[in-house]
Amino acid sequence: MTDSKVTERDFDLSRRSFIDRVLMATAAAGVAAAAPWASAAVAGEPKQADPVRLGVVGTGDRGRALIQNIAKTRNCAVAAICDTYAPHLDRARTLVGGGTRAFADYRAMLDAGGLDAVVIATPLDRHARHCLDAFDAGLHVWCEKAMARTIADCGAMVRRSQAARKVLQIGHQRMFHPTYLNALKRARAGEIGTLTQIRASWHRNNSWRRPVPADATDRQINWRLYRDSSAGLMTELATHQIQVGNWFFDAVPTRVMGSGSICFWKDGREVYDHVALIYDYTGGRKLIYTSLLNNARYGCEEQIQGSRGTIEPELGRFYQEVPPKVLALQRMQKDVARGHKRTVPIGGATWFPELPVTTPGESLGWGEYDETMLQFEGFGEAVRAGKPLPGLLAQAYHASVASLLGEQAMDSGEAMNWPTNLVAI
Amino acid sequence: MVPALAEVERFVAMGTRIELHRFGPGDADALAAARRAIEAVDDALTIHRPSMTTALNEKLMSGQDASIDDPVLFEALVAIDQAYSATLGLFDPAADRRFASVGWSDIIFDRATARIAATRPVAFDFGGIGKGIALDRACDALRSAGVGSACLSAGESSIAVIGDHPLGGGWPFAIPDPLQTGQMLVELELHDESLSISSAVGAGMLAPERAAMIRPGDGAVVMDARCAVAIDRQGARAEAMSTALIVSDDARAASLVGERPKHRFLFDLSHTAAMPAPAAGMQVQ
């Protein structure tokens, strides 16, 4: 469902411009190989007739946002919605056509048929069950990140998709975003030199706790705060940024060390409200990750740091390592401009204080269009072809494993090595 | 005279900040070409990341000989070979604190076959001469691009100028006393020349990770309060000479300065109140 103020022509123009920017970013040498899913997703115009029929399981805030993005696509349609919590289902009904079937039981939705694929936006601990059942029902699956509550369940989802020969796609929208693809293009072209470190953070200043209506339980609404249903900051936020780290380093971590605590919001929650981790990669490279819930100054960002520059994709900025000006030579320039020649004092210290760079950097380009739409168009074409977008699932699987491994490192207080028994994709 | 149009390129290379100022006519991409020339030298000669030089050092340290395929590295080794003779053996980028007497004399470098070997484990740190070679190559690139007036700086201690100052005549520079604010050690004009300043005193010496000046022969760190200035048509030679003067004994310093007294200066800063000391028969100032 599109905004009523946006005309069909406006929509076409903005969509075309978005796709064009993705095409431009993925056309560069090295990027097509590093982001093959994005190249595939924009390779052709999706067929509008006979849209791929999706059943959305979980119609909370995220599920309803997905429904709105699905409505923007040219090749997918929501054919059914499902939620065990009636108020969420009622709100979702307002976003879909009157003929869309609604279910309180996802098994009933699967049994009713008439679907090509299922979209899963339920609490994390239910992803695996819903996903496996969808495969067993002969359907393809699009699932919110993180994949599952345990590394074993992540592997089970991959295995079942392979056995059933069905598409399993996980929601990592940054992998389709022109700004990230442009950043990747410039990093691959060597513009920031050798990448040695990524600092990533997701800092907020709120409790992450939602009000609980009278007809619901705290664990039902605030499932992100409890261990049995979520790994908290790691699975709900860090997964995105760990995927970015793996993507830009073109590797998976070798090990992770971390410290987690419930440091500020001592309100009965079970998951950490402060996490700090170091993910090691081969060659001494590092992803340094922090997330917390009582300071928003540095927000959500990845700082991709190379020997010649830094890319900050969330800010959409590109910084080159430009040193401060030599004041004597700067003065010489001004003297020449006004026709005045005088002696240039030279030979001062070759060292200069190492203060943060405060220049605004160069824009990487940002658009207001939502990349989640492109994810679903790509998913729709993958479902039609019966073949997943290349490279996508491996990225998602490894990001989920890394986030859960980080939780284990914090819980145990020990460095955790990258598992050797992961499913091959 | 009408001021010439100016352009500037600033970036980090050779472990320091580089500034390239060009004036007047020349190709639009002249500065970009000069930057590429400097970065190519950095890529070949750096020892702070994998390079042809680190590969060579690994071989020489393990007792193997090596073939020099990289033209920049070959040019650097030729420049060292020449500078070693020209500085009476005082400029020696193979000198090493870890191995007291090791140095260029342990190197067997055959220019004809471009092969190198060492009689003892040895490793190069091109440091200053690398900056000189980089500026020389950048000047060549600018001249090839039709630039007739430019000033290049690598960390303020290495300067090269092309042609005349944009307002005519030479390029006037002053070398400040590193110990006395507002005092100048020397003022001079450059014409199509390079200038190198080496100092064993001053704020720069306090910089983290600053490499120590090594005296060839015994590998000792130079502790004398000195500042040396050398001017030459070639930046590489200027760098070698200023380094040689800093690590020199008095007799050899006097000999080297005496060869070109208007182009080589050595300041003894151990008694700053008397700076600069009178020549007094010795060309060491």
Query: Across the A/B interface, how many CB contacts are shorter than 8 Å?
Result: 104
What does the pLDDT read at residue A364? 64
Contact assessment for residue A109 and residue A132, using Cβ atoms and an 8 Å cutoff: no
Percent of chain B with pLDDT over 70: 83
Instruction: Evaluate whether residue B158 is within a structural domain.
Output: no
What is A405-419 written as a DSSP string? Answer: HHHHHHHHTS-EEPP
For residue A344, list chain B residues with Cβ-Cβ distance below 8 A. Answer: 171-174
Task: Tell me the C-alpha distance between A241 and A226, whole Å.
Answer: 22
Does the pLDDT of residue B194 top 90, yes or no? yes
Q: How far is A346 from chain B (nearest CA, A)?
A: 6
Query: Considering only CA atoms, which of B22, B236, B35 is closest in space to residue B141?
Result: B35
Q: Are strands A362-363 and A317-320 parallel, antiparallel or unpaired?
A: antiparallel
Instruction: Evaluate whether residue B39 is within a structural domain.
Output: no
Task: Tell me the C-alpha distance between B282 and B179, whole Å.
Answer: 23
What does the pLDDT read at residue A14? 67
* pLDDT, tens only, B223-281: 678 899 999 999 999 999 999 999 898 899 999 999 999 999 999 887 653 344 333 33
Query: Considering only CA atoms, which of A103, A105, A147, A156 is closest in space to residue A124?
Result: A147
CB contact under 8 A, B8 and A333: yes
CB contact under 8 A, B184 and A328: no
Q: How far is B30 from chain A (nearest CA, A)?
A: 18
Number of neighbouring beta carbons within 10 Å of residue A113: 12
Residue of A nearest to B199 (CA): A347
The runs of H, that is alpha helices, within B91-234 are 127-144
Task: Tell me the C-alpha distance between B107 and B179, whole Å.
Answer: 38
Instruction: Evaluate whether residue B247 is within a structural domain.
Output: yes
Give me the sheet containing B184-190, strands edge to edge. A344-345, B171-176, B184-190
Partners of residue A261 on adjacent β-strands = A274
What does the pLDDT read at residue B274? 38
Query: Considering only CA atoms, which of B131, B167, B168 is closest in space to residue B152?
Result: B131
B181 touches chain A (CB under 8 A): no
Mean pLDDT, range B160-170, rounded to an integer:
96
pTM higher than 0.80, yes or no?
no
Number of neighbouring beta carbons within 10 Å of residue A110: 22
SS3 B198: strand
CB contact under 8 A, A325 and B10: yes
For residue B207, list chain A residues with Cβ-Cβ distance below 8 A. Answer: 349-351
Contact assessment for residue B269 and residue B275, using Cβ atoms and an 8 Å cutoff: yes
For residue A307, list chain B residues with Cβ-Cβ distance below 8 A. Answer: 49
Number of domains in chain B: 2
Q: Are strands A76-82 and A140-144 parallel, antiparallel or unpaired?
A: unpaired
Does the pLDDT of residue B161 top 80, yes or no? yes
Residue of A nearest to B181 (CA): A348
Number of neighbouring beta carbons within 10 Å of residue A13: 12
What does the pLDDT read at residue A405? 98
Q: Which of B62, B97, B118 is the last residue of a domain?
A: B118
For residue B171, list chain A residues with Cβ-Cβ distance below 8 A. Answer: 344
Query: Considering only CA atoms, which of A312, A322, A324, A317 is closest in space to residue A362?
Result: A317
What does the pLDDT read at residue A9? 59
Contacts of B186 (CB under 8 A, 6+ apart): B174, B175, B229, B265, B267, B276
Residue of A nearest to B154 (CA): A350
The runs of H, that is alpha helices, within A229-326 are 233, 239-249
Task: Tell me the C-alpha distance between B164 and B151, whole Å.
Answer: 10
Dihedral sign, Cα of residue A359, residue A362, residue A363, residue A364: negative
CB contact under 8 A, B169 and A325: no
Q: Which two tokens stand for residue B238?
A: 């200027």
Backbone dihedral region for residue A203 (phi beyond 0: left; psi -120 to 50: alpha; all else: beta): beta
For residue A329, list chain B residues with Cβ-Cβ distance below 8 A. Answer: 19, 21, 151, 153
Query: ipTM of this model?
Result: 0.80
For residue B4, list chain A residues with Cβ-Cβ distance below 8 A. Answer: 336
Query: Which domains does chain A show, CATH number per domain?
Result: 8-175+370-393 (3.40.50.720), 177-323+354-368+400-417 (3.30.360.10)
For residue B229, list chain A residues with Cβ-Cβ distance below 8 A. Answer: 347
What does the pLDDT read at residue B6? 82
Q: How far is B108 from chain A (nearest CA, A)?
A: 34
Instruction: Evaluate whether residue B105 is within a structural domain.
Output: yes
- What is the 3-state composition of chain A as percent helix, strand, coil, each rounded to the nearest 5? 40, 20, 40
B3 touches chain A (CB under 8 A): yes
Give me the sheet containing A52-57, strands edge to edge. A101-103, A76-82, A52-57, A117-120, A140-144, A168-171
For residue B172, list chain A residues with Cβ-Cβ distance below 8 A. Answer: 341-344
Stated as kind and residue range, the H or E segment containing A134 is helix A127-136
What does the pLDDT read at residue A25? 74
B44-103 residues touching A, CB cutoff 8 A:
49
The runs of H, that is alpha helices, within B48-187 are 52-61, 71-86, 127-144
Q: Please report, in tens digits, the pLDDT of each residue of chain A (425 residues total).
A: 334 454 555 656 566 777 777 777 777 767 777 788 887 777 777 777 889 999 999 999 999 999 999 998 889 999 999 999 999 999 999 999 888 999 999 999 999 999 999 999 999 999 999 999 999 999 999 999 999 999 999 999 999 999 999 999 999 888 888 889 889 999 999 999 999 999 999 999 999 999 999 999 999 999 999 999 999 999 999 999 999 999 999 999 999 999 999 999 999 999 999 999 999 999 999 999 999 999 998 899 999 999 989 999 988 888 887 776 778 888 898 999 999 999 998 875 444 445 566 566 676 655 545 677 788 999 999 999 999 999 999 999 999 999 999 999 999 999 999 999 999 99
Task: Tell me the C-alpha distance between A412 and A303, whole Å.
Answer: 28
Confidence of residue B178 (pLDDT cuts 50, 70, 90): confident
Q: How far is A332 from chain B (nearest CA, A)?
A: 10
What does the pLDDT read at residue A32? 79
Q: Which of B118, B137, B165 is the last residue of a domain?
A: B118
Instruction: Evaluate whether residue B181 is within a structural domain.
Output: no
Interfacial residues of A (vs B; Cβ cutoff 8 Å): 194, 307-308, 320-326, 328-329, 332-333, 336-352
CB contact under 8 A, B173 and A342: no
For residue B178, list chain A residues with Cβ-Cβ distance below 8 A. Answer: 347
Decide which of A198 and B219 is more confident.
Answer: A198
Q: Which domain covers residue B109, as residue numbers? A: 52-118
- What is the 3-state composition of chain B as percent helix, strand, coil, each rounded to the nearest 5? 35, 25, 40
Write down how long chain A is: 425
Q: Which two tokens stand for residue A278?
A: 């170091």
Contact assessment for residue A265 and residue A273, using Cβ atoms and an 8 Å cutoff: yes
Dihedral sign, Cα of residue B61, residue B62, residue B63, residue B67: negative
Q: Which of B118, B134, B153 is the last residue of a domain?
A: B118
Q: Which two tokens stand for residue A424?
A: 């091959």
B274 touches chain A (CB under 8 A): no
What does the pLDDT read at residue B152? 97
Partners of residue B118 on adjacent β-strands = B107
